[in-house]
Amino acid sequence: MGTRVMGVMTEDVVTCGADTALEAVAERMLRHEIGSVVITAEGNSYGIITETDIVFATYRTGASLGEIPTRKVASHPIVTVEPTQTLRLAAKRMGDEGVKKLVVVDGLDIVGILTTQDLIDHYGELNNELENVHQSSRRRSRKWPREDF
C-alpha cells in the first residue's frame, strides 16, 4: 500500500498573489525559512516560485525585486499531487516533471506541499527501520549452527 503524501507533506503552505512583487516573496521566504511560495490567482493555485527563480529573474532582467511581479517569473501550470497518493507515485511524478516540489491539492484546495527533502527525510527513517530489522536478524542468525542440529 505504501506511505501516503498526506503523512509526509508540509501543511502550512505560504502563498501570495500573482501580482505580488518578488521583493515581498523573498521577504516571506526569509521570514518562514522556506525555499518556495505558491502563487495564487483568483483564488486558485497558479504557479510556484523558488529562490532560484528569483535569482534568475534579477540576473536576466537587471530590474529590482520590487519591480518584478511573480506572475512573470512563476513556474506554471503548477505540478500537483493528491494527498492520498503514495510517496512512490509522488516521487515518480517529480522525476517525470523535472520538479523538486509538488503542491498537494484536494480538489481545488491547496492542502500542502511535498518536497524532495520530505522524501529524503522519510526514506531516511525507513532506511533506519530496515537497518534495525537487519541487525536484529543478524543477532538471531549468530546462534547458528546449533550444536544439536
Please state the pTM of the whole predicted model.
0.77
Set of cell numbers at residue 107: 480538489
Mean pLDDT on 4-8: 92
Regarding beta strands 101-106 and 109-115, do their DSSP bridges make them parallel or antiparallel, or are they unpaired? Answer: antiparallel
User: 93-144: per-residue pLDDT in tens?
Assistant: 998 999 999 999 998 889 999 998 898 888 765 455 446 555 655 555 445 4
Domain spans of the chain? 5-141
Question: What is the pLDDT at residue 46?
Answer: 83
Question: What pLDDT score does 35 carry?
Answer: 92
Q: What is the dihedral angle through the alpha carbons of 43, 53, 61, 27, rounded to the nearest 10 degrees?
A: 70
Task: Give the fold, CATH level 3, of 5-141.
Answer: CBS-domain (3.10.580)
Mean pLDDT along residues 16-45: 92
CA 90 to CA 75: how far, in whole Å? 18
Q: Which of 57, 81, 77 is nearest to 68 (CA)?
A: 57
| pLDDT score at 130 | 46
On the CB side of 75, CA atoms within 13 Å amount to 21
The per-residue pLDDT for 144 is: 44
The percent of residues above 70 in pLDDT, for the chain, comes to 81
Summarize pLDDT for 40-91 with one digit per residue, the tens. 988 778 899 999 999 999 889 889 999 999 999 998 889 999 999 988 888 8
